[in-house]
Structure 1
Amino acid sequence: MTALKAHEVARFLVRPDLDEGIFLAYGPDGGLVRETAQRLIRHLSGDDPASANISVLEGADLSSDPSQLLVEARSGSLFAGKRIIRVRNATKALVMPLTELRDDPGGAAIVLEADNLAPRDALRALVEAAKFGRALPCYPDSDETLMALMRETFNQAAIRIDNDVVPTLREILGNDREITRRELEKLTLYAANTKLLTRDDVLLLCADNGVLAIDAILDATGNGHAEKLELALNRALAANVNPQQLLAMLTNHFANLRRWRTDVDAGRSARAVLEATKPRPHFSRMASLEQQLRLWGDRALGTASDRLLQATSDTRRRPVLAEAVLRRTTLALCMMAAAS
Structure 2
Amino acid sequence: MTALKAHEVARFLARPDLTEGIFLAYGPDTGLVRETAQRLIRQLTGNDPESASLVTLEAAEIDSDPSILAVEAKTVSLFGGKRIIRVRGATKSIVMTLTELRDDPGGAAIVLEAGNLTPKDALRALVEASKLGRALPCYPDSDETLVTLIRETFNQHGIRVDGDVVTTLREILGNDREITRRELEKLTLYAAASKTLTREDVLLLCADNGALVIDAILDATGGGHAEKLELALNRALSSAVDPQRLLAMCTIHFANLRRWRVEVDNGKSPRMVLDGLRPKPHFSRASALEQQLRLWNDSALAIACERILQTTADSRRRPALAETTLRRTLLALCMMAAAH
Q: Say yes or no: TM over 0.5.
A: yes
How far is the alpha carbon of 1:150 from its aligned partner?
Answer: 0.8
Q: Contact 2:208–2:239 (CA<8 Å) still a contact in 1?
A: no
Q: How far apart are the structure 2 equivalents of 1:201 and 1:212?
A: 13
| Cα 1:268/1:122, change in 2 over 3 Å | farther
Q: Are the structure 2 counterparts of residues 315 and 73 from structure 1 closer, same or farther at C-alpha, using a change threshold of 3 Å?
A: closer
Residue 84 in 1 paired to residue 57 in 2?
no
The alpha carbon displacement at 1:65 in A equals 3.2
Name the CA distance, whole Å, in 2 between partners of 1:36 and 1:240. 33
2:203 paired residue number: 203
1:24 touches 1:112 (CA, 8 Å); kept in 2?
A: yes
Aligned pair in 2 of structure 1 residues 276, 126: CA closer, same or farther (>3 Å)?
farther
Q: Report the equivalent of 2:55.
A: 55
Matched to 1:143, the amino acid is D
- Secondary structure at the aligned position of 2:110 is classed as strand
Residues 260-279 of structure 1 aligned to structure 2 (within 5 Å): 260-266=260-266, 270=270, 273-274=273-274
SS in structure 2 opposite 1:208? Answer: helix
2:125 matched residue in structure 1: 125
Change in Cα spacing, 1:267 to 1:183, as seen in structure 2 (3 Å) is same
SS of the residue 2:23 aligns to: strand
The answer for the alignment partner of 1:164 in structure 2 is: 164
Rounded Cα–Cα distance in structure 2 between residues aligned with 1:139 and 1:243: 34
Q: Would the aligned equivalents of 2:102 and 2:132 in 1 still touch at CA under 8 Å?
A: yes
Aligned length: 340
CA pair 232-96 structure 1, distance change in 2 beyond 3 A: closer
Taking a change above 3 Å as real, the CA distance of residues 311 and 189 of structure 1, as seen in their structure-2 partners, is same
1:240-261 Cα shifts (integer Å, max 9, x gaps): 5555654444333222221232
The residue number in structure 2 matching 1:12 is: 12
Residues 72-81 or 153-162, more deviating: 72-81
Q: Which residue of 2 aligns with 1:93?
A: 93
Distance of 2:294 and 2:149 partners within structure 1: 39
- Report deviation, 1:329: 3.3
Q: Look up the match of 1:102.
A: 102
Give, as a single letter, the amino acid of the residue that structure 1 aligns with 2:184. Answer: L
Q: 1:227 to 1:156 in 2, by over 3 A?
A: same
Deviation at 1:225, TM superposition (A): 2.0
Residue 325 of structure 1, CA deviation: 4.5
Percent identity between the two aligned chains: 76
> 3-state DSSP class of the match of 1:207?
helix
Q: After the TM superposition, which of the residue ranges 34-43 and 257-266 deviates more from structure 2?
A: 257-266
Q: What pairs with 1:99-248 in structure 2 (closer than 5 Å)?
A: 99-208=99-208, 211-239=211-239, 241=241, 246-248=246-248
Corresponding letter in the other structure for 2:176: D
Give the Cα–Cα distance (whole angstroms) in 2 for the partners of residues 207 and 226 of structure 1. 20
Aligned residue type for 2:104 = D
The one-letter code of the counterpart of 1:78 is L
Where 1:229 maps in the other structure, the secondary structure is helix
TM-score, normalised via structure 2 length: 0.89
The alignment partner of 2:99 has SS state of: helix
Give the Cα separation in 2 of the matches to 1:329 and 1:23. 58
Which consecutive unaligned segments of at least 5 residues does structure 1 have? none
Q: 1:147 to 1:339 in 2, by over 3 A?
A: same
- 1:286-328 superposed Cα distances (whole Å, 9 cap, x missing partner): 3211221222111111122233344445556766765554444
Asked if the contact 2:207–2:213 (Cα under 8 Å) also holds between the matched residues in 1, the reply is: no
CA distance in 2, matches of 1:287, 1:245: 25
| 2:25 alignment counterpart | 25
